[in-house]
Amino acid sequence: MDHEMKPHYKDFQTRAVHAGRDDFGALGVHAPPIDLSTTYPFTDLTAASASLDALVAGEANASNPIYARLHNPTVGRFEKALAALEGAEAAVSFGSGMAAFSAVLLAACQEHKHVVGVRPLYGTTDHLFSSGLLGTTVTWTTADGVAEALQPDTGLVVIETPANPTLKLVDIEYVVRQASGVPVLVDSTFATPVLQNPLNHGAALVLHSATKFLGGHGDVIAGVVATSEVWAKRLRQVRLVTGGLLHPLAAYLLHRGLPTLSLRVHRAQESAGELAERLAGHPAVSAVHYPDLRSDPAGRQMRGAGSVLAFEVRGGLPAAQRLLQRVTLMTPAVSLGSTDTLIQHPAGLTHRVVSQADRESSGVSDSLLRLSVGLEGVDDLWADLTQALEASHTQDPVGPRRRSRENNYPKVPGSAGSARGPGLGGRRE
Ligand SMILES: Cc1ncc(COP(=O)(O)O)c(C=O)c1O
């Protein structure tokens, strides 16, 4: 395999079915082979050394993979396929979304150690930047403040759109213009390549927590960055020395899921739109957050609003806790993008590591619940939500199905200090 892109099929769905499978004819196979080798025998030391040199220089492939930390063919096929879906020259995958973020930071901020971040971002991403763990500093700002936040040593601008967990859209082209040549990374996990291609709007890098929709079945943890070949080379070099690899079994599952990605995303999106509308009319709900592509100027960068929404319940944290106790069809759990519906409390879980003040100033209140809508029937989901909302409204302390469970949902702390890992350093603004 080489990293050169074959001419693209125009239709996303055709690419989703066929990309990354170019070598099947030569191999005489119909499904991607899973290559579990950790090492690859050689017969000619000179040729093996040349392969090693190429991979160490960041090439996507060489005639001999040499060692699985340098290259794996099963992983390489998934990367080619994902690049084709993002319209990118290349993609580089990692063992998780956070491993992907870490590799980008190491690649982008060797000399330029300053990062501009637009909040909200996923809580652990926020923490990666705020903690300065990888030797970077951060200035947090809004989409309007990017130009002003730039410094001579800014190496990266980071945005997430739609944002986790508020579903706020950030106008990619507007941010790219303000960044004046500083590379912009877009975390496009919520949109997937089905609904948004940030590289078409000037972003240098698009990152996915592939754990979510790309995996799609709640059984893979992975991250991937789609970008130019120049960036991809740097990312492969970082991956090679830091070892944040994607396992070939996980790559196989990710590649296997791509042909149905669009079907899953569109089906769940239909239900999410319907639930967002119904929730907006419910007396126990004070606000619904779901992208409105017609009224939001950034809506033009998306081909659909997606299947994650957030809503605020009247009654604050106690009402949110009661609702989580009461749902029976949807599962109270973090993560998103699975076949089934997941509901969680960002201030108490995914964004708990961000301080209360920073959470609140970016719209992550204690009343906010995030819903990742799955593939169940929408009326069954609505029935579950309404009975749970009813309970949260009438202050039924514990729902019937969960009555046996102890209500041990954690109190949201005033400061998230206790939730931070040891030795990760202080916050840097
Ligand atoms: C938007 C977003 N980006 C990045 C991540 C991190 O990905 P991972 O959990 O695969 O490391 C997550 C995880 O929830 C996320 O929601």
For 228-279, the pLDDT digits (tens) are 999 999 999 999 999 999 999 999 999 999 999 999 999 999 999 999 999 9
Same-domain pairing of 330 and 412: yes
Catalytic residue among 21, 69, 278, 303: 69
Q: Is 187 a catalytic residue?
A: yes
Quick check: is 424 in a domain? Answer: no
Same-domain pairing of 239 and 281: no
Same-domain pairing of 26 and 93: yes
Distance CA 48, CA 31 (A): 28
Confidence of residue 396 (pLDDT cuts 50, 70, 90): low
Q: Is 290 a catalytic residue?
A: no
Mutate-to-test residue for ligand 1 from 158, 208, 209, 225, highest number of ligand atoms within 8 A of CB = 209
Half-sphere exposure of residue 55: CA atoms within 13 angstroms, side-chain side: 23
Q: Taking 60 as the threshold, does the pLDDT of residue 422 lie above it? A: no
Quick check: is 428 in a domain? Answer: no
Half-sphere exposure of residue 259: CA atoms within 13 angstroms, side-chain side: 10
For ligand 1, which residues put their CB under 6 angstroms from it?
96-98, 122, 125, 160, 164, 187, 189, 209, 211, 221, 223
Quick check: is 266 in a domain? Answer: yes
Quick check: is 23 in a domain? Answer: yes
Beta bridge partners of 208: 224
Same-domain pairing of 250 and 352: no
Domain boundary among 259, 293, 319: 259
Catalytic residue among 15, 40, 80, 122: 122
Quick check: is 242 in a domain? Answer: yes
Query: Percentage of the chain with pLDDT > 90?
Result: 89
Quick check: is 189 in a domain? Answer: yes
Distance CA 168, CA 177 (A): 19
Same-domain pairing of 300 and 242: no
What CATH number is associated with residue 275?
Answer: 3.90.1150.10
Res 407: pLDDT: 41
Domain boundary among 213, 241, 259: 259
Q: Is 69 a catalytic residue?
A: yes
Distance CA 368, CA 386 (A): 16
Neighbours of 142 (CB within 10 A): 14
Same-domain pairing of 266 and 204: no
N residues, the chain: 429
Same-domain pairing of 299 and 314: yes
Same-domain pairing of 232 and 287: no
Q: Is 122 a catalytic residue?
A: yes
Quick check: is 425 in a domain? Answer: no
Distance CA 46, CA 24 (A): 29
Query: pLDDT tens-digit profile of 188-243?
Result: 999 999 999 999 999 999 999 999 999 999 999 999 999 999 999 999 999 999 99
Same-domain pairing of 210 and 350: no
Same-domain pairing of 207 and 295: no
Cα of 115 from ligand 1 centre, angstroms: 19
Confidence of residue 9 (pLDDT cuts 50, 70, 90): confident
Q: Assign residue 395 a region: left if phi > 0, alpha if psi is -120 to 50, beta otherwise?
A: left
Distance CA 26, CA 24 (A): 5
Domain boundary among 235, 259, 283: 259
Quick check: is 157 in a domain? Answer: yes
Res 393: pLDDT: 79
The closest-lying atom of ligand 1 relative to the alpha carbon of residue 350 is: 14
Residues 121/295, Cβ–Cβ less than 8 Å: no
What strands, in cross-sheet order, belong to the sheet with 308-313? 285-289, 308-313, 368-372, 342-344, 331-332
If one counts the domains in the chain, the total is 2
Query: pLDDT tens-digit profile of 301-323?
Result: 999 999 999 999 999 999 999 99
Apex 256 CA angle, 96 and 34, nearest 5: 80
Same-domain pairing of 275 and 243: no
Helix 378-394 with 248-280: angle, nearest 10 deg:
60
Give the mean model confidence (pLDDT) for residues 391-416: 51
Q: What is the pTM of this model?
A: 0.92
Query: pLDDT tens-digit profile of 60-72?
Result: 999 999 999 999 9
Cα of 267 from ligand 1 centre, angstroms: 22
Q: In Å, what is the CA distance from 426 to each residue of 101, 204, 354, 420?
A: 19, 29, 12, 10
Res 395: pLDDT: 64
Cis peptide before 332 (omega within 30 of 0): no
What CATH number is associated with residue 29?
Answer: 3.40.640.10
Same-domain pairing of 290 and 210: no
Res 5: pLDDT: 44
Domain span including residue 334: 261-419
